[in-house]
Structure 1
């Protein structure tokens, strides 16, 4: 049997911890208060304005309950807003605010540095190979997730994510 340190799941968990830690360090260095999932949520709302919380959860591959807490915190900080749907009065549509758009823009240098930190020991070919294999594994095993990635079909991302339609 393989040693625990050689098991893919163990290595993936460790790399996730490293990635989150690097993100936190780089964001803090910029004076930015943001988590990886908050960045993902705001980024998706910039691309897909006026989607509901369930759709957002699918786009960032997070369970709806956990994402609900993320949305509440972002709304409390004025980074996104919820509005009643014009077609279904029970539904709420989410939209990133100008403050949220600014935070995402301000966070981009930290995001880029995070990628450099976690990939620093790989050359360009190794990086491409790693990312390709990670995408292949994630795509092939998406159905095993408690919160699978659910892309929108037939709805392209907003052409101008920094402008509200």
Structure 2
């Protein structure tokens, strides 16, 4: 016998829907740059830690190591980041932002922040920090269950 589980009682359903909304709002606000949320995360992580290799980048942003190469390929093709040989291990390619990558990151900050504000706008201002705190707790508490566990800050 199948149990009847209404979707509106399942947190996973709302988490999936919120992810769809978050991506849609981000893409709408940042449309002129043609950057996805994952590409933004990758650029920001490389900006914060120049010289990351692809595996470390994937771990830093919680992205699958088998598909991060495609993200890096697209960003490199657009001239936003470069792969450079590591001085200590020629097999390792370190990632660095290009001048254009730095420029795009600086320009995308305001639209990215508008997207974040729009995502939280339905909540009363006094509940937004608490909501973010709860999201972080859920991700931290379930990180090891992820297909691509991330480094937690």
* TM-score bin (small chain): over 0.9
Match of 1:74 in 2: 75
Q: CA deviation at 1:48?
A: 0.1
Counterpart of 2:92? 91
Question: Could you tell me how far apart the structure 1 residues matched to 2:132 and 2:25 are?
Answer: 18
Residues 137 and 112 (structure 1), Cα distance of their counterparts in 2 relative to 1, 3 Å cut: same
- Secondary structure of 1:146's partner? coil
From 17, 22, 34, the equivalent of 1:19 is 22
Runs of 4+ in 1 over 3 A off after TM superposition: none
TM-score, normalised by the number of residues in structure 2: 0.94
Query: Match of 1:43?
Result: 44
* Aligned match of 1:7: 10
Relative to the length of structure 1, the TM-score reads 0.87
Cα displacement (A) at 1:136: 0.2
Give the whole-Å Cα distance in 1 for the aligned partners of 2:150 and 2:106.
Answer: 24
Paired residues of 2:59 and 2:151 also in contact (CA < 8 A)? yes
Post-superposition offset of 1:150: 2.2
Residues matched between the structures, number:
150
List gaps (5 residues or longer) in structure 2. none
Give the conservation status (yes or no) of the 8 Å contact 1:78–1:99: yes
Q: Give the unaligned 5+ runs of structure 1.
A: 153-165
C-alpha distance in structure 2 between counterparts of 1:25 and 1:6, whole Å:
29
Where do 1:1-165 residues align within 5 Å?
2-28=5-31, 31-150=32-151
| Alpha-carbon RMSD | 1.3
**What corresponds to 1:156 in structure 2?**
none
- Tell me the distance in 2 between the aligned counterparts of 1:111 and 1:42: 13
Find the residue that maps to 1:93 and give its secondary structure: strand
